[in-house]
Amino acid sequence: MSEQVIGQKVIILNLDYCIGCRSCATACSESHHQYLSLVHGQVKQLAELPQHCRHCQDAPCVASCPTQALKRDENGIVRRHVFTCVGCRSCVQACPFGVLDGTLLRHVTAKCDLCVDRVVNGLQPRCVTTCVSGALTFEDLSEVWEEDRVQMGSRIIARSPWKRA
């Protein structure tokens, strides 16, 4: 698969569908030797939502890595080299989305590799395939932008304290 095709595809979370079951996180952990690269965020203790690595075009985590363990590979995926990472957590600090978990496992920081072993074969990342409610999808970024999709689902808006006020 070419660099462009994988590089343009992103994991989209439909907030309306997520039931907070953590299947995505389990699939990630079980398939990566218990390295968990998918953190969950709580929304006012009312919902738990997965927070995926965006594989940013201009990735701050790559820029911040002092050992160059984080690099963008030939498929456009930001990956961490396991032997070069020293677990300094600079990337955790640098990530603007807070998707890198600061918990170290075997002295390295876990990092989403977009299940490159599956994606290069035309499959979806494991978190997307396993998603029980259909909240996670693996879509072409250009299509998402064309649809002008509202990323904040009605569920969140409906329960939002700002709306209540």
Q: Give the contacts of 109 (CB within 8 A, at least 6 positions apart).
A: 80, 85, 87, 89, 91, 92, 100, 101, 102
Residue type at position 81: H
Count of residues near another protein by CB under 8 A = 29
Q: Which is nearer to another protein, 133 or 142 (CB)?
A: 133
Q: Which is nearer to another protein, 16 or 73 (CB)?
A: 16
Cα atoms in the Cβ-side hemisphere of radius 13 Å centred on 117: 4
CA pair distance 87, 130, nearest whole angstrom: 29
- Token look-up 């979806």 returns 124
Binding to another protein, residues 105-164 (CB under 8 A): 126, 129-134, 155, 159
User: What letter would DSSP give residue 123?
Assistant: P
Among 8, 10, 12, 16, binds another protein (CB under 8 A): 16
From residue 52 to residue 91, what is the string marking binding to another protein with x (rule CB under 8 A)? ----------------------------------------
Minimum Å gap between C-beta 49 and another protein is: 11
Q: Give the contacts of 29 (CB within 8 A, at least 6 positions apart).
A: 35, 36, 38
Minimum Å gap between C-beta 137 and another protein is: 13
| Interacting residue ranges for another protein, rule: CB under 8 A | 16-17, 19-23, 25-27, 29-31, 34, 36, 44-48, 126, 129-134, 155, 159
